[in-house]
Amino acid sequence: MPSPARLFRLSALLASVRAIVPPGHQGAPHQISEDRTAPTSNNILIVQTVDRVDQKTSAPVDAPPNLDVAPTMVTAVDGNIVNTTIATANSESRRDLERFIKPRQSGFKKIFDGLPAAQKDASIQGTAYLTHTVVNNATYNVKACTDWCTTVEGCVFVNLYYEFNNYFLDHVFSEKSNLKCAAYADIHTAAEKLNFGGLASHSPVDNASVPFTYITRSSGWAVDTLVDPSTPDGYELVFGPTGGANNAAGYMGFDFIDRYDVNACAQLCNARGADPNGGGCAYFNIWRATVDGIPTTYTCSMYYLPTDESTALNFGQGSLRVTSSRGYARTSLLPDGGFEGFTLCSDFCFATSYANWTGTSPASGTLDASIFFFPPYAHTGHGSALLGAALGDDALPGTLTPAAPLETEAGAPYVVQCFVSSAFSASEFEAAAHVDVLWNGERVGGVHGFMEYTLVEVGVIGTGRDILAFVGGAAPAWSFIDDCKVFKA
């Protein structure tokens, strides 16, 4: 027989349960109100980082011609200087990348002339260097250089010049030519002719002096027609190109990359860690910074809230100007993951289903999965879904699923993201709360216990027309779900 003290506790607990007003009767949630103000772009830090990063280079003195184009590199992350390769940018995937400016087969135009042969000149010291070759130096072979550019991924500009006293060109490399052709993924001007040579290309031999390298007849040639990049897989182009970068809510941080690479930005957005209040990266803005008209950096700014051109109001500061700004939104396979399409009323109402979602109960249950219009229950906006009997009539779990199967690709990886709150009742009642994530009927993840709105992430593999479901709730252990997304990973 239970002790008097235990009986007293059970009676008090039962009285507390009876005192809870269920969500269906517009009860007040017990969860703590959190400040979910979305942060905005940190343009000051971006500008400060531009001043600290040097992404400009020339063709190296000692590098052999015709090296493969290196993967896109990250040069800064949220103001910290780094030098890392983007993880998925291997040689195979690089063949699918397209830059913001890509040559058509329509020809090249001269950007600047070289100085006369008798005068020493300088080669380009600029951003987005790709690789270099040497061409036959019997003549000043412009066409061989520009023809080669069309074979190099991302090449839109070449710098053609003679490099004298380079031991490697003269005696080591098999081509035996000193007419260098350097490829870049951005267009440069004569103002960037800053590499005058002046290097010793090898160590002294038998105490003999080593002549310094020098450069002559350095000219620049660019494609005469430019095209837009292809939209990355799993994204859609929102705007651009324009001269304004986004200054918007939901800001997650920024990366600098060493060339304008839309696909690299998409990979960085996919890999950016989820914000605990806002979720995963859902939008990125790529833009090119010029300082005094010279290409300097390439920025990927990331956001958990999609935005558009109306917030592209950062045109630059001082001598820094924003150019080639484009915005891309990540595509969620869920048509209404925030339940904002449920508009049966304008203040408080709920239902078991609407056009985008369906809630079902076990045979003996009632309203065990439902959709609510009521901002106090939502993570954001006015809509959310509830697992558990809305009126508290039973303690059975409900099942919530999109109204139609997801249009997935067989074999492709996806990530399911949802915010879950099991904090409507006090913690002792929500201890039994649980939400299971099902993918084609199989449990692939979930959470349990008392919690404020918390991001739940589950990785899955598509099979084609997959069925996503959320199962849980056991009144008074109610669970709310909101802001769900299914992104291609």
Q: What is the pLDDT of residues 37-87, one digit of tens each?
A: 788 888 999 999 999 999 999 999 999 999 999 999 999 999 999 999 986
- What distance in Å separates the CA atoms of residue 285 and residue 294, rounded to the nearest whole number? 20
Q: How far does CA 94 lie from the centroid of its chain?
A: 17
Q: Where are the domains of the chain?
A: 43-51+230-330, 101-227, 335-488
Q: How far is it, in rounded angstroms, from Cα 302 to Cα 253? A: 6
Q: Can you tell me the mean pLDDT for 87-103?
A: 44
pLDDT tens-digit profile of 202-213?
666 555 677 899
CB 336 within 8 A of CB 350: no
For the stretch 233-251, pLDDT in tens is 999 999 999 999 999 999 9
Q: Which residue has the tokens 């508290």?
A: 392
Report whether pLDDT(25) > 80. yes
Phi and psi torsions of 331, nearest 5°? -95, 120
Q: What pairs with residue 373 in β-bridges?
A: 349, 383
Q: What is the pLDDT of residue 242?
A: 97
Measured distance CA(464)–CA(414) in Å, rounded:
12
Residue of higher predicted confidence among 88 and 165: 165
Backbone torsions φ then ψ of 111, nearest 5 degrees: -95, -40
Alpha-carbon span 326 to 240, nearest angstrom? 4
Percent of the chain topping pLDDT 90: 81
pLDDT in tens, 346-379: 999 999 999 999 999 999 999 999 999 999 999 9
Neighbouring CB atoms inside 10 A of 65's CB total 19
The strand pair at 226-227 and 102-103 is best described as antiparallel
Residue 263 has pLDDT above 50, yes or no: yes
CATH for the 335-488 domain, from 2.10.70.10, 2.60.120.260, 3.20.20.70, 3.40.50.10420: 2.60.120.260
Cα separation, 410 vs 464, whole angstroms: 5
The percent of residues in the chain predicted with pLDDT above 70, rounded, is 89
Q: What pLDDT is recorded for position 90?
A: 42
Q: What is the pLDDT of residue 200?
A: 74
Where residue 29 falls among pLDDT bands split at 50, 70, 90?
confident
Structure tokens belonging to residue 92: 């195979």
Q: Given a cut of 50, is residue 472 above it in pLDDT? A: yes
Tens digit of pLDDT for each residue in 288-336? 999 999 999 999 999 999 999 999 999 999 999 999 999 999 999 999 9
- Give the pair of three-digit tokens for residue 235: 């994204």
Instruction: Report pLDDT for 97.
Output: 40
Q: What tokens appear for 104 in the block?
A: 């058509």
Q: How confident is the model at residue 106 (pLDDT cuts 50, 70, 90)?
A: low
Higher pLDDT, 362 or 97: 362
CA–CA separation, 252 and 87 (whole Å): 20
Confidence band, pLDDT 50/70/90 cuts, at residue 88? low
Q: Which residues contact 164 (CB under 8 A, 6 or more apart)?
A: 178, 197, 213, 214, 215, 216
Q: How high is the pLDDT of residue 226?
A: 81
Element housing 148 (H / E): helix 142-149
Nearest C-alpha neighbor of 351 from the set 384, 326, 378: 384
Q: How far apart (Å, rounded) are the C-alpha atoms in residues 187 and 482?
A: 46
pLDDT score, position 262: 96
